[in-house]
Amino acid sequence: MNPTPEDPVPTAPPAQVKRPRLHLSLVWLVPLIAAVVGLSLLVNAWLSVGPTIEISFESATGLEAGKTPVKYKDVVIGSVKSIALQRDLSRVNVTVELRKDAARFAREGSRFWVVRPRIGAGGISGIDTVLSGAYIGVDSEAQGDDQYEFQGLETPPSVIKGTPGKSFELHADDLGSLDIGSPVLFRRIQVGQVTGYKLDSDGQGVTLQIFVFAPNDAFVTTDSRFWNASGVDVSIGAEGLQVDSQSLATVVSGGIAFATPEDSAETAKPAPADSRFSLASSQKQALAKPDGAPRLLRMRFDQTMRGLTENAPVEFFGINIGHVRSVRLEYDAPRHRFPVVVDAVIYPDRLEGISEKRGPNDKDDTPTFLVPLVAKGLRAQARTGNLLTGQLYIAIDFIPNAPPVAFNPAARPLTMPTVRSSLEDLQQQVASIVTKVEKIPFDDIGRNANASIVELNKTLKNVNEGVLPEFRTTLQGTQQTLDNANRMLSENGHLQQDLGQTLDALQRSAWSLRQLTELLGRHPESLLRGRGAGSAQPAPAPVIPPMAPPAQQEKAR
């Protein structure tokens, strides 16, 4: 069958082209997965990278680039990227790369410090870094403008920002044994700590910052009194030896205690934050009543004042009204003497009921009440406060028979009349007695006493060797004579009887003579006329019993 023109001409089928097949090996999956992971890590790192900041420290002790982390409340928020010295070699710049979610720490008010093992007044800190290594700690209020350069703290802050409580300022004459971290005590319980200190701008004192944790900060009232509770307070009084201390921590590292006086505890209100208080040196001084304005009192003594030192008490009738401020010598040209000038600070407000007259400059007070008191013998006198140490104090008291002196209450400084110390007079008397005793020739008296003792020994020796034997012989002879007399009287009883009769006759004769004397005394005319009928008859002679023989006497005995 012939094809027509409309019919298509049959053609041969096209030749099929063989293409090479792509064979993927499983080996290529490993770098592919690694590339995907790396890309995801890069994307994740780029998304998590935060700002980069620089922190300057005095040294890079414990820090290592690429390893040292930055932590906030033990959560890693960044890491140290590099460490380099400053151009002047004074400090070290540490470049820190923060995480993106920690960008709030790159603001004003943030504080950075190196956490490492430390031993301080507040105890041991950073002990966990012994094994894990040091890290950079951070604290921030999350407020303020952005900041990328900081100066690191060399010591960790005592209180982290945001801790509930209040800060207060205390003014003291000196720092004493206090330090950052020293405890703040209330009723011997730690309720806070010292967070900082600095010198005053005028250099006349020290200002301390303390922080009292909530809820104990409510115990700090507008009338609270603070005192330095460091060490041990030892005092000797009428009750004996007293030893007082707050706690063992205050003995070692110092501390501050506070309290509110009982008379104002109910009415006092909680003190606002950043209130200023004074820091007293002791609890007694802190809780004492306000002393008022001090007054300068000057005294001149014409005697040695050894033992009188600064801060020695000034007492009025045994009550402390001030203290000694200075002791110095002053030349008195008219008398060519060197009196000791003692300046003391007294507080007249401690004397209740004393009215003072305000001076024209409204600063100095004229104590007019002293005028009549000085006229009555009020004087200043140095007395011994301790016999063991010889320390002196100033006593203002009434001296009996004190000579009158000129006193000007308007003088500035006020000069108080003085008298010599009674102890010095006693010392002079003792010295005079010692001088007189030294003049006694004890050597001559001793030599004469030795010679007299030698002669006395010789005399006693002669008495013992010569007189005593002869005296003993005489006593023996006398004893023999008495024995013979007794024996003779006992053997010859009639002799004793005759002796008794003789004594009886003598007694009767004496009686008769007495009767005659009495008769003549009453009737002297009887010598001429004789005894008349009216004369009194003499009393009968007393009857004396005859003496019994010696044998009978022995039986009666």
* All residues at 6 or more sequence positions from 94 whose CB lies less than 8 Å from its CB, including other chains: 54, 55, 56, 57, 60, 63, 80, 82, 83, 136, 152
Do 305 and 270 belong to one domain? no
472 inside domain: no
Write down the pLDDT at residue 233.
Answer: 59
**Domain stops at, among 287, 311, 326:** 287
170 and 56 both lie in a single domain:
no
Q: Give the pair of three-digit tokens for residue 434.
A: 């010692």
Shared domain for 140 and 259, answered yes or no, is no
Burial-class residue 511 by CB neighbours within 10 Å (0-12, 13-18, 19+).
middle
Phi first, then psi: give them for residue 515, nearest 5 degrees. -65, -40
Average pLDDT over residues 392-407: 87
Residue 380: inside a domain = yes
419 with 307, same domain: the answer is: yes
Domain, as residue range, for 83: 44-151
Is the model's pLDDT at 84 over the cut of 90? yes
Tokens representing residue 93 in the block: 């710049």
pLDDT-wise least confident of 16-25, 27-36, 384-393, 429-438:
16-25
Parallel, antiparallel, or unpaired for β 340-346 and 295-301?
antiparallel
CA 91 to chain centre: 45
pLDDT of residue 358: 44
The DSSP symbol for 254 reads -
Rounded Cα gap, residues 95 and 81, in angstroms: 5
- Same domain? For 393 and 321 the reply is yes
Nearest one of 319, 385, 305 to 347, comparing CA atoms: 319
Same domain as 280, residue 372 = no
Least confident of 111-125, 150-164, 187-201, 466-480: 111-125
pLDDT in tens, 87-98: 898 999 999 999
pLDDT tens for 179-212 read 888 889 999 899 999 988 999 988 889 999 999 9
For residues 464 and 163, give the distance between their C-alpha atoms in angstroms, rounded to a whole number: 104
Q: Is residue 178 a part of any domain in this protein?
A: yes
Structurally, the chain folds into a number of domains equal to: 3
Q: Are 80 and 65 in contact (CB under 8 A)?
A: yes
Residue 411 maps to a domain: yes
Distance of CA 124 to the CA centre of its chain: 30
Assign residue 368 a region (left: φ > 0; alpha: ψ between -120 and 50; beta: otherwise). alpha
Of 126, 151, 176, the last residue of a domain is 151
In this structure, what token pair is assigned to residue 28?
């290529």
Interacting residues of 536 by C-beta distance below 8 A, sequence separation 6+? 519, 522
The answer, yes or no, to whether residue 15 has pLDDT greater than 50, is: yes
CA distances from 551 to 490, 496, 503, 546, 556 (A): 8, 11, 19, 14, 9
DSSP 231: S
Residue 176 shares a structural domain with residue 274 = yes
Higher pLDDT, 141 or 509: 509
Structural tokens at position 532: 């008349």
Please check whether residue 89 lies inside any domain of the structure: yes
Check whether residue 52 and residue 132 sit in a common domain: yes
Are 69 and 100 part of one and the same domain? yes
> Which residue did the predictor score with more confidence, 25 or 42?
42
Same structural domain, 413 and 317? yes
State the CB neighbour count (10 A cutoff) for residue 139: 20
Last residue in a domain, options 151, 180, 210: 151
Cα–Cα distance measured from residue 433 to residue 366, given in angstroms and rounded to the nearest whole number = 46
Q: State both tokens at 527.
A: 């010598």
User: Given pLDDT bands bounded at 50, 70 and 90, which one contains residue 279?
Assistant: very high
The pLDDT confidence band at residue 238, using thresholds 50, 70 and 90, is very low
**Per residue in 316-366, pLDDT tens?**
888 888 889 999 988 888 888 889 999 998 887 777 665 444 444 444 454
**Separation CA 537–CA 90 (nearest Å):** 150
Q: 51 vs 29, which has greater pLDDT?
A: 51
Residues 313 and 428 reside in one and the same domain: yes
Q: Is residue 518 part of a domain?
A: no
Indicate the pTM of the whole model. 0.52
Asked whether residue 468 is assigned to any structural domain, the reply reads no
Q: Give yes or no: residues 301 and 277 share one domain.
A: no
Residue 71 lies in a domain: yes
Residues above pLDDT 90, as percent of the chain? 19
Query: What does residue 406 show for φ and ψ, rounded to 5 degrees?
Result: -85, 130
| Ramachandran angles phi, psi of 526, nearest 5° | -70, -20
Cα–Cα distance between 500 and 470 in angstroms, integer?
A: 38
